[in-house]
Amino acid sequence: MPRWWLTRVRGGSMAPALRDGQLALTRSLRPGSVVRRGDLVVAEAGRRVVKRVVGLPGERVTFRGGGVLIDGIGLAEPYATASFFRGELAVPPGHYLLLGDQRDASDDARTWPRPYVARQQLVGRLVRLRRVAARRACL
């Protein structure tokens, strides 16, 4: 896998941070790279997806009152919309919980058959975003 590449965002689950069709410079996540909560990542989760890291290995993630709690402490997420989803997930060691920012319009860990993504499935981190310009017709 190359060290850098362009990722095209598909769908609206990451709006407004990322829009459908937007390009993002993506850096390969090598073994030993630190993955942080809030990172925008490219993951192999049955298909290649762009999502935000919300739960880290060993954490208990609770969905309540439209928001997210990590080990019982409310998580400030100014980028995310409120959600009607309720429940609790325990992230296993070596795995991450990925969510879309448009919580009730996202196909993510809450709906995937396997909700947790292993570290080796995280293939890249989005590092720079670019809006897609309208195409010009060539005459």
The topology (CATH level 3) of 4-56+97-130 is: Umud Fragment, subunit A (2.10.109)
- For residue 113, is the peptide bond before it cis, meaning its omega torsion is within 30 degrees of 0? no
Rg (CA), the chain: 15
Domain range list for the chain: 4-56+97-130
Q: Rounded mean pLDDT of the chain?
A: 90
CA distance 13 to 10: 8
Listed as own residue / partner, the contacts of 132-136 with beta carbons closer than 8 Å and 24 or more positions apart are 132/21, 132/22, 132/23
Residuewise pLDDT in 10s, the chain (139 residues): 689 999 999 999 999 899 999 999 999 998 889 999 999 999 998 889 999 999 999 999 999 999 999 999 999 999 999 999 999 999 999 999 999 999 999 999 999 999 999 999 999 999 977 655 444 333 3
* Residue 112 neighbours by CB under 8 Å, 6+ apart: 45, 46
